[in-house]
């Protein structure tokens, strides 16, 4: 269904200059049918899983639906008290109950300390340049925007991809001077370097009190 919808989307895009073309309505129907199929499949899978729960999974489902923790604390409703167990004895050697403790524990889990110094990298022998460097063109910006996924998440306080994809022709002439300035002025805004790292649950884990049951995703500034 996804492949059929994408083919229909391409035909609709090719006929964008003709609003009366039947390909637009065909794409709309296939897009809606695909979205509805995804919704129904998720619901059916969830119901099938609930109907076949064993004794231990009942409590897992309860934690997934209830969230656990204190309702007054937005962080604890999503992440329970985290526990770190000794690898040999399996005894709990550390607990993290506050948001600050959880953040620190996640940081240590996802970014462990270096155990040894990095080895020196030999000086590479680069071949001669193939072409002369040129600053970014409006055509390149236009091509990049067309390749962006419109609903992929960006940092919460920055422009989402859909702003660029739905306003590409209007924005490109204004974006061009901005990106060319990063080359001509040799300046890259500090805010573009700042990322946001939400913590997501890995699906299907039996115990979400373990830091290893979560994974980070990095969201960057929309302009970056």
Distance CA 42, CA 143 (A): 34
On whether residue 30 sits in a domain, the answer given is yes
Q: Structure pTM?
A: 0.53
Tokens representing 35 are: 């979205």
In a shared domain, residues 84 and 34: no
On whether residue 128 sits in a domain, the answer given is no
- Asked if 110 and 216 touch (Cβ cutoff 8 Å), the reply is yes
On whether residue 198 sits in a domain, the answer given is yes
On whether residue 125 sits in a domain, the answer given is no
Distance CA 11, CA 22 (A): 10
| pLDDT at site 75 | 43
In a shared domain, residues 216 and 144: yes
In a shared domain, residues 139 and 195: yes
Tens digit of each residue's pLDDT (9 = 90 or more) over 70-91: 444 444 447 888 988 877 787 8
Q: Quick check: helix, strand or coil at residue 51?
A: helix
Tens digit of each residue's pLDDT (9 = 90 or more) over 155-191: 888 888 999 999 999 999 999 999 999 999 999 999 9
- How many domains does the structure of the chain reveal? 3
In a shared domain, residues 79 and 41: no
By residue range, what is the domain housing residue 84? 67-111
In a shared domain, residues 142 and 221: yes
In a shared domain, residues 98 and 22: no
On whether residue 74 sits in a domain, the answer given is yes
In a shared domain, residues 142 and 217: yes
- 7 versus 207: the higher-pLDDT residue is 7
On whether residue 4 sits in a domain, the answer given is yes
Tens digit of each residue's pLDDT (9 = 90 or more) over 144-158: 999 998 888 888 888
Question: Which DSSP category does 178 fall into?
Answer: H
């Amino acid at each position: 269904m996804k492949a059929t919808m994408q083919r229909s989307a391409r035909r609709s895009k090719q006929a964008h200059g003709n609003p009366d073309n039947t390909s637009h309505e065909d794409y709309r129907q296939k897009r809606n049918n695909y979205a509805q199929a995804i919704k129904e499949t998720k619901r059916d899978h969830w119901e099938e899983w609930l109907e076949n729960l064993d004794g231990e999974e009942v409590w897992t489902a309860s934690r997934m639906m209830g969230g656990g923790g204190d309702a007054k604390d937005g962080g604890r409703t999503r992440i329970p008290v985290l526990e770190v167990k000794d690898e040999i004895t399996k005894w709990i050697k550390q607990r993290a109950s506050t948001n600050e403790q959880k953040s620190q524990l996640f940081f240590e889990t996802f970014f462990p300390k270096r155990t040894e110094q990095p080895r020196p990298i030999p000086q590479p022998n680069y071949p001669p340049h193939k072409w002369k460097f040129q600053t970014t063109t409006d055509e390149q910006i236009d091509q990049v925007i067309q390749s962006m996924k419109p609903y992929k998440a960006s940092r919460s306080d920055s422009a989402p991809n859909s702003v660029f994809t739905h306003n590409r022709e209007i924005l490109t002439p204004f974006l061009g001077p901005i990106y060319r300035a990063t080359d001509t002025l040799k300046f890259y805004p500090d805010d573009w370097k700042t990322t946001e790292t939400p913590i997501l649950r890995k699906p299907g884990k039996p115990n979400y009190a373990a830091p290893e049951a979560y994974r980070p995703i990095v969201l960057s500034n929309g302009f970056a």
